[in-house]
Structure 1
C-alpha cells in the first residue's frame, strides 16, 4: 500500500514521540543496571510489557511511569516523563479513552473549541461533517461508533448535544468552509430516506452567508489526494479522526501543511449553484421512482 506523501506529519509524529519516551525509559533502566526481566519482576509485570513500552508499541499510564522511575531510582525524572506522556496523549487520544463515559461528553468538549474558533475549515471524503448533519444522520453515525467501540449507549443525549452545537452556524462572527467529495454524498451509511433528508439540508445550509460549501465531483482532477478527512480550527489546531484514535496536531509545520492541502482541495471544488447542481444530481439518483397509479 502506498503511503500518503503527507505521512511525515500526524501519526508519524505521534509514533516518534512514543519512541522517544520509550528510549528514555530504556535509558533509565540501563542506568539502574536492570535487565528487562528484572525490572518486570520487581514491578510484577509480564516481561513483554517492558519491551513494548521501551519500543514504543504501548503507551504507558501515569502509574506505569511512576512505578518505572521508582524501580530505577530515578524519581527526579518522573515529572518530565509525565509531561512527555501527557503531550503524547493530547496528540494521540484513543477513542476508547475519549469516549469511555459516553458520546455526549465528547460533544461538549468540542463545544469549547467551537466557542473560541473564528474560522472553521473541514474536509471530509466519506461522511457529512458533524456540524452539517441532520439528527437522523447523526444518530446513524453515533450508532456505528457505539457498535464498533462497544461504548455506553447515550445516543439520544449525544444527538441532542450535536444539534445544540449546530446553532453556532448562525452566528455572524463565525465563518465556515466545508469541502466534501461527491463520494461523501453517495456512500450508503444510513437508510435512503435519511440520506435524502441530509442532502436537502446541505442545499439549505449552502445558502447561509457565513458558510462556504464546496463539492468535489467525481470527474474532477485532484491536485492533492483526498487521503482522509480533517478539521482546522483557525490556525491553532488540526483534528484528524481514525478508526482507533483522534490525532490532535498543533505544531506550526503541521498546521501549515494541512492548510496548504486544504487550499489545493478548495481550488478544485465547486461552490454555490454548481455545488447545488451536484447535490441535486445525487438526490435524483437516490430518490425512488414515483409509483404510477393503477387503474
Structure 2
C-alpha cells in the first residue's frame, strides 16, 4: 500500500499549482495533456494535486509538451525548494496534542507503509527502544523538553505512543529492515541497567520475521558517510530527523539515492546469529566493565 506523506507543504503546493496553470494554459484537459505526454491521466492528476512528486525529467517533459520553455526558470526554482520540506518540531509540539500528537502522526505514516527501512549510525530507533531507554533519551538536553518545551506529562504521552508504535514489530506482512552501527550498542543513554535492558530487548527482536536487524561492526569499512540516520517509507519518501526538525525528501531521484545507500549498508552489515552474538558480546563487556 503506497504511503501518503504529510499534507503538502507550501513549496510543494506552489509547484503543483504552477504545473496545473501551465497545463491549463494549453487549453488541454488533464486527460488530453496526459495523452500528449504518453502518461496515464492519473499521473497528471496526482502531480497537479501534489499527491505525486515530479522528477526533474517529468518537469522537463511537462514544459516541452505545453510549449512553456519560458517558464523553466520559475518551475525549476519551485522544484528545488519543494524537494525537501522541513517540519519544525517546536511548531508541531505547540499544536493541539503537542508532542504526543506528533508521535501519533509518525505512527499513522508507519501504519500506512508496508516497508519502513531505517538506518542509524549511533542510536537505536524508537521502534526498538525500551520504555526506560525512551524516558532517558527524551529527558536529554536534545529532547523535546528542551527543544520543544514539552512537559513531563507530554513526555509520558510520547512514551505511550512510542510503545503503541512497536505493535508493528509483530504485524504479519510488515517489513522493517534496520541497519545500525555498532556504536549504537555502546553509546550509553542513562545508567548501565537501562543500557543492558535495551540490549536484551534488541537481542530478543533479532529473531522476529518482520525485523531484518543488521549491524555494521566497528571492524567493517563503513560503505557511506554516517552523517545522519534516515527512514525510507515504501520508497515514497525519506525522513531525516535533526534535533529540531524533520526533513521530508520526496524527490524520486534522491529517494533512489537513499535506497542505494541503504542496500550498501545492508550488504556490509552482519545479521541473524552473527548480529545476536555481537549484541551479547557488547552486553557482557559493558557488564564486566561496570
Match of 1:196 in 2: 196
Q: Does 1:218 align with 2:218?
A: yes
The alpha-carbon distance between structure 1 residues 88 and 143, as it changes in their structure 2 partners (threshold 3 A), is farther
Helix, strand or coil: the match of 2:90?
Answer: helix
Q: Does 1:91 align with 2:89?
A: no
Contact in 1 for aligned 2:199/2:283 (Cα 8 Å): yes
Query: Using the alignment, how far apart are the partners of 1:224 and 1:200 within structure 2?
Result: 28
Distance change >3 Å, CA 90–CA 98, structure 1 → 2: farther
Question: Once the two structures are superposed, what CA deviation does each residue of 1:97-156 show, in whole Å capped at 9, x if it has no partner?
Answer: 122243211111011111110011000012111100101111122222134315221111
Report the Cα offset of residue 90 of structure 1.
7.3
Is contact 2:213-2:272 (8 Å) kept?
A: yes
Are positions 1:106 and 2:102 aligned together? yes
CA RMSD in angstroms, aligned pairs only? 2.7
Q: Is the CA contact (8 Å cut-off) linking 2:123 and 2:184 kept in structure 1? A: yes
Q: Return the match for 1:126 from 122, 127, 151.
A: 122
Unaligned runs of 5+ in 2: 1-8, 16-73
2:269 pairs with 1:269: yes
d(CA) in 1 for partners of 2:235 and 2:156?
33
Equivalent residue, structure 1, for 2:20: none
SS of equivalent residue, structure 1 residue 287: helix
Secondary structure at 1:103 match in 2: helix
| CA pair 236-182 structure 1, distance change in 2 beyond 3 A | same
The higher relative CO (CA closer than 8 Å, separation ≥ 6) is in: 2
Give the 3 Å change call, closer, same or farther, for CA 88–98 of structure 1 in structure 2. farther
SS of residue in 2 equivalent to 1:91: strand
Q: Is 1:228 the equivalent of 2:217? A: no
Alignment partners' CA distance in 2, 1:146 and 1:165 = 18
Are 1:283 and 2:283 matched, yes or no? yes
Q: Please, what TM-score do these two structures have when normalized by structure 1?
A: 0.67
**Shift of residue 209, structure 1, vs aligned partner:** 1.2
2:133 counterpart of 1:117: no
Confirm or deny that 1:139 pairs with 2:135: yes
Shift in Å, 1:89: 11
CA distance in structure 2 between the partners assigned to 1:146 and 1:242 by the alignment: 12
The answer to which of 220-229 and 141-150 deviates more is 141-150
Q: Counterpart in 2 of 1:148?
A: 146
Partner of 1:168: 168
CA separation in 2, counterparts of 1:119 and 1:128? 18
Equivalent position of 1:71 in the other structure: none
Q: TM-score, normalised by structure 2?
A: 0.68
Determine the C-alpha separation between the residues in 1 that align with 2:228 and 2:198. 21
1: CA distance, partners of 2:83 / 2:100: 20
How many pairs align?
212
Question: Separation in 1 of the partners of 2:90 and 2:289?
Answer: 43
Deviations 1:156-176 (A, max 9, x none): 111111101110111112111
Shift of 1:181: 0.4
- Runs (4+) of structure 1 exceeding 6 A deviation are none
Q: 2:190 is paired with a residue of what secondary structure?
A: coil
**Counterpart Cα distance in 2 of 1:207 and 1:269:** 16
Q: Is the 8 A contact 2:231 2:240 kept in 1?
A: yes
Say which one has the larger Rg: 1
Give distance in 1, aligned partners of 2:189 and 2:218.
Answer: 19
Tell me the secondary structure at the aligned position of residue 139 of structure 2: helix
